[in-house]
Structure 1
Amino acid sequence: MGTASIDPITLSVIQSGLQQVCDEMDLTFSRAAFSPVIAEANDRSDGIYSADDGALIAQGASGLPVFVGTMQYSTRVLIEMIATAKAAAPQPGDIYIVNDPYLGGTHLMDVRFAMPVYRDGAIFCWLSNTGHWPDTGGAVPGGFSASATAVEQEGLRLPPVRLFKQGVLDTEIYAIICSNIRVADQRIGDVKAQAAALLVGEKRLCRLLDRYGDATVTDAIAELRRRAAEQMRANIRLIPDGVYRSTAYVDSDGVVNEPLEIRLAVTAEDGELTFDFTGSSKPCMGPMNSVLATTLSSVYLAMRHIFPDVPISAGAFEPLTVIRPEGTFLDAHYPRPVSGCAAEVSQRIAEAVFAALVAALPERVTASPAGSSGNFALGGFDPERGQGYVMYQISGGGYGGNADHDGLANGCSTIGISKAPPIEIMEQQYPVLYHRYALREGSGGAGRHRGGFGLDYEIELRRGQATASFVMDHGRFGPPGALGGRDGAPNRVTVTRDGVAMTPEHLSKAQDIPLKQGDRVRVETPGGGGYGDPLARDPQAVAEDVRLGRYSRAAAQAMFGVVLDAAGGVDAAGTASIRAPASAA
């Protein structure tokens, strides 16, 4: 059957069916996992990939977008390794495990499983998923070693090996893994959840294939890929042909306290985009290098933000060409450390894409969002429970303002839709107490539409001793505004030990900070960048922000040029007369 013979209704039903398979895998994974970062925060993803080249067919709607490119890349690498006999030939029921960043991964904590789906004795497709394990060994609990200078310091690196052989867990390989990670006794829950998600996916997919036939589904997949490519090209043609440039900055690499530059030139020509990062900083000593797969995926997810109507498929990436950024920190090779690539550098890459294209697509592109996952790991020993633990906390921040409205407050990171675990769950699982968990009001950049607000939380260690490590960003530079908007407030981390507050040398990056009972860590995440001239903001919107306590009257005047009367209102009949020059503040 050719693609032309598939009627639109059947095509739509198959497309929805493939999506449902991935969504059920996502749901199974989260509900069965032990770790709060997966079960509550949904730091995971599931997808279907082609048997010949690993091309993305479908991905779960609640999976992290940053995995949209990396899982495709790692599946392709696995297929190539099997073809060249560098990996064992798969059998039905085999499940491979891999977290090697240089083979299409992100950082070592993102562990991938891949399983072939057989039909009539041949591989029809691959199912794959990724879950963030709270720890994979390395120098610090949680794997976010801000001072790492080699990948071995970040944790255990796994090439593609069959963790399950014909459906049976290889206990020897599993024992090797558990012998090299912390709180190993809890990993079996995540391992079984990850495998169960793939088995559920196989069952649901085979049901779809049985209903419509392998040939019909194969033709539908090809047609959906073709249509996604056409739709992306049509959207790209909204961008006038030309070259668009931008520069984004990473605070530091965690070792050398100097900014890293991401230089981007985007060339638009006849429905195609070419992304050139020539001139970006060289590979760095610390963990803020990005592997190629993550760099590619960062570009793809940025375009997904701009054109969200394009279905997720390998076809959506076909009109996008990323020139390999050889010789830069965006194309890391062994043994460069990479723990910050997926959660932080990826968001700076997306930020560079937004900044390059906002002038060309002002109605579609926003000012920069907070752009940090707020990776905070706490590892220690709980004397009350008599066991060790590794706590991993992610946090949201403000979104950038846009042409239609203010930015969202405390939104998830640019790279995903993961959410912070509920504080009740964290306090139940770990010996911590949250003293605050609130919006960081006033942190959004001023603009015609202001940026959204970040998050302000503070954690106290209740008992025992622990070490704190974090790899974040936007501590030196706040998220940039767009089209005249002001930058959002930068990230701020404060550690209080024995009643004395301190800020880390690298602002939002540090590792192995010793804490004892009563010590605290406070994190104030970035606000989003402002969009448009702050003096063009509706004075009534400014008055409402002041009424709700988001800004003081003085800040409203300094940031937006709005002078409020004694009652906190504005003269609607004479708004032009109440504008005052905005100060440098």
Structure 2
Amino acid sequence: MLDPVTLAVIQAGLQQVCDEMDLTFSRAAFSPVIAEADDRSDGIYSAEDGSLIAQGSKGLPVFVGVMQFSTRTLIERIRSGETAAPEPGDIYIVNDPYLGGTHLMDVRFAMPFYRAGQLYCWLSNTGHWPDTGGAVPGGFSASAISAEQEGLRLPPVKLFKRGQMDREIWQIICSNIRVSEQRIGDVQAQASALLVGAERLSGLMDRYGDAQVTEAIAEMRGLATRQMRAMLADVPEVAVTARAVVDSDGVVDEPLIIALSLRRDGADVVFDFAGSSRPCMGPMNSVRATTLSAVYLAVRHVFPDVPISAGAFEPLRVTGIEGTFLDAHYPRPVSGCAAEVSQRIAEAVFAALVQVFPDRVTAAPAGTSGNFGLGGHDPDRGRDFVMYQISGGGYGGNAAHDGLSNGCSTIGISKAPPVEIMEQAFPVLYRRYALHEGSGGAGQHRGGFGLDYEIELLRGDARASFVMDHGRTGPQGVLGGKDGAVNRVEVMRGAEVWVPPHLSKAQDIALQPGDRVRVRTPGGGGYGDPAARDPALVAEDVRLGRYTRAEAQRLFGWTG
């Protein structure tokens, strides 16, 4: 048996391999969404069943479970003969949501890693491509009613064969996506990250020996399982219930309900989603892999000290999703599943767990990635462009302090690209970039504030699309705290102000030079009774302009 020090060193070494892959991917990528916003993740996965061995500390949490499922699907297809068997130097590409994925824009690469001529494990990564075809630039078609309207769907195929790119497959991809000439930089970056990972993993195994590393991986998995079970031991056998709401599916203007019943069953914890809404017509369906990953990441938020390993997920059983919009099958559209529905799932998990672990769990965070796609032609540069803007929001208050303002989304560490980078890359000007004042939910510890930004199109013509959420209801407050403010979208053409009928979702909005789009993202929910808030903290918020005096009096009963 490994001594604890060696185990800890190998565990840290495996994570460092993934961290270097992440860093390589971001530094070499062309697109701001990867290079600046870090919308990507890298990991190491079992050759036997695709289970997670290690993931980078700076990778998107939602991809933790998803790449586990996509790697497992790849292995199963290779064994069945549906997909060609791997050889050294091969790299597979896949973005099919129904094969263990998210939405089409999250493109996954997987590379076999060999030791002594035998397949030892898989290295895999996911990067958000700015466009994969479909009805609208950027892929977030708010009105899609089938998968074909969302873009090019790729089953697992070898994009690189024995180290060389398959030009025919690449030409097929380029013929079906916008600004294809700009994608080669992202592809090479994604492949390079895997090659760096292979080199670093080889070095680690050369140093400690294959047998010791293999033993460490098994021990890490078992340790993670035991730790997660210990953490969840206080979950009662009597069910705790919660729910979350999706504004609409973008087509039918009715809310979608996520119903959750949480209980302990022996050593496991069951997350039962029976009673959630049925599959929807629009793109707010979630595929099974994303739904399970959303549960995993929500629990990881609450118990971050448990090692990142497949073992951490073994005590978590997800049931009741069959026949609901949380278990989408082809051809249901799913562009909103990873960026939006997954965060509503996490919100439901938080709302249930806060009843059991009030000192550990926060009120609901903003819970939307604020997906804003803008595509058109830049006459000054003589080329087309596709711009993808993500944005942060307020975190929920918690037992110890107020929520963070303008934090990244629940599902990841992706941050909005710097304004200067976006203005340099695209024909836009940011007229406003500030906190969404007044948006934090009132509470003893208030929610953080969302973001308020406004973009003007400078030249050419363009089309805008939005797939966001929390436009109908704000993020939930807990234990007497109030909900955060809702998401708001406005399109301004001169004196005319247009608000999407679905509030947070719209597509194909024509823009001309001078037209502007303003987005105000949600604030986090409040934690605890607002009347119990320290009046000095309320006064400080008023002094800084975070709340008006009238808001402070109404929300907190402030008399200052």
> Scaled by the length of structure 2, what TM-score is found?
0.99
Structure 1 residues without counterparts, runs of 5 or longer: 565-585
The structural deviation recorded for 1:491 is: 0.1
1:338 to 334, 340, 345: 334
Correspondence 1:75 to 2:71: yes
CA distance in structure 1 between the partners assigned to 2:474 and 2:226 by the alignment: 37
The structural deviation recorded for 1:272 is: 1.7
CA distance in structure 1 between the partners assigned to 2:116 and 2:275 by the alignment: 51
Q: Deviations over 1:255-279 (max 9, x none)?
A: 0000000001011244421011101
Q: Which residue of 2 aligns with 1:174?
A: 170
Q: Which residue of 1 aligns with 2:87?
A: 91
Correspondence 1:472 to 2:468: yes
Name which one, 1 or 2, has greater alpha-carbon Rg: 1
Q: Which residue of 1 aligns with 2:428?
A: 432
Correspondence 1:30 to 2:20: no
Q: Per the alignment, in what secondary structure is the counterpart of residue 224 of structure 2?
A: helix
Q: Deviations over 1:473-507 (max 9, x none)?
A: 00001001001100000000000123311100000
The structural deviation recorded for 1:198 is: 0.2
Matches within 5 A, 1:172-251: 172-251=168-247
What is the RMSD computed on CA atoms of the aligned residues? 0.7
1:100 to 86, 96, 110: 96
Q: Per the alignment, in what secondary structure is the counterpart of residue 285 of structure 2?
A: coil
1:463 to 448, 453, 459: 459
Is this contact kept in 1: 2:259–2:276, CA < 8 A? yes
The structural deviation recorded for 1:389 is: 0.2
Counterpart amino acid of residue 7 in structure 1: D
Q: Which residue of 1 aligns with 2:353?
A: 357
Q: Which residue of 1 aligns with 2:404?
A: 408
Q: Deviations over 1:439-482 (max 9, x none)?
A: 11110010010000000000000001000001000000100100
Structure 2 residues without counterparts, runs of 5 or longer: none
Moved more, 14-23 or 538-547: 538-547
Counterpart amino acid of residue 92 in structure 1: P
Q: Per the alignment, in what secondary structure is the counterpart of residue 242 of structure 1?
A: coil
Moved more, 551-560 or 37-46: 551-560
Is this contact kept in 2: 1:499–1:519, CA < 8 A? no
Q: Which residue of 2 aligns with 1:366?
A: 362
CA distance in structure 2 between the partners assigned to 1:374 and 1:287 by the alignment: 15
Q: Per the alignment, in what secondary structure is the counterpart of residue 98 of structure 2?
A: helix
CA distance in structure 2 between the partners assigned to 1:507 and 1:98 by the alignment: 33
CA distance in structure 2 between the partners assigned to 1:447 and 1:89 by the alignment: 57
Q: Per the alignment, in what secondary structure is the counterpart of residue 324 of structure 2?
A: coil
Q: Which residue of 1 aligns with 2:414?
A: 418
Q: Which residue of 2 aligns with 1:451?
A: 447
1:54 to 44, 50, 61: 50
Matches within 5 A, 1:243-262: 243-262=239-258
Correspondence 1:290 to 2:286: yes
Q: How many residues align?
A: 560
The structural deviation recorded for 1:148 is: 0.1
Is this contact kept in 2: 1:292–1:324, CA < 8 A? no
Counterpart amino acid of residue 343 in structure 1: A
Q: Per the alignment, in what secondary structure is the counterpart of residue 544 of structure 1?
A: helix
The structural deviation recorded for 1:238 is: 3.0
2:147 to 148, 151, 169: 151
Is this contact kept in 2: 1:371–1:479, CA < 8 A? yes
Q: Which residue of 2 aligns with 1:141?
A: 137
Is this contact kept in 2: 1:112–1:131, CA < 8 A? yes
Counterpart amino acid of residue 454 in structure 1: G
Q: Which residue of 2 aligns with 1:513?
A: 509
CA distance in structure 2 between the partners assigned to 1:189 and 1:311 by the alignment: 33
Counterpart amino acid of residue 213 in structure 1: G
CA distance in structure 2 between the partners assigned to 1:110 and 1:553 by the alignment: 44
Q: Per the alignment, in what secondary structure is the counterpart of residue 102 of structure 1?
A: coil
Is this contact kept in 1: 2:44–2:122, CA < 8 A? yes
CA distance in structure 2 between the partners assigned to 1:546 and 1:90 by the alignment: 62
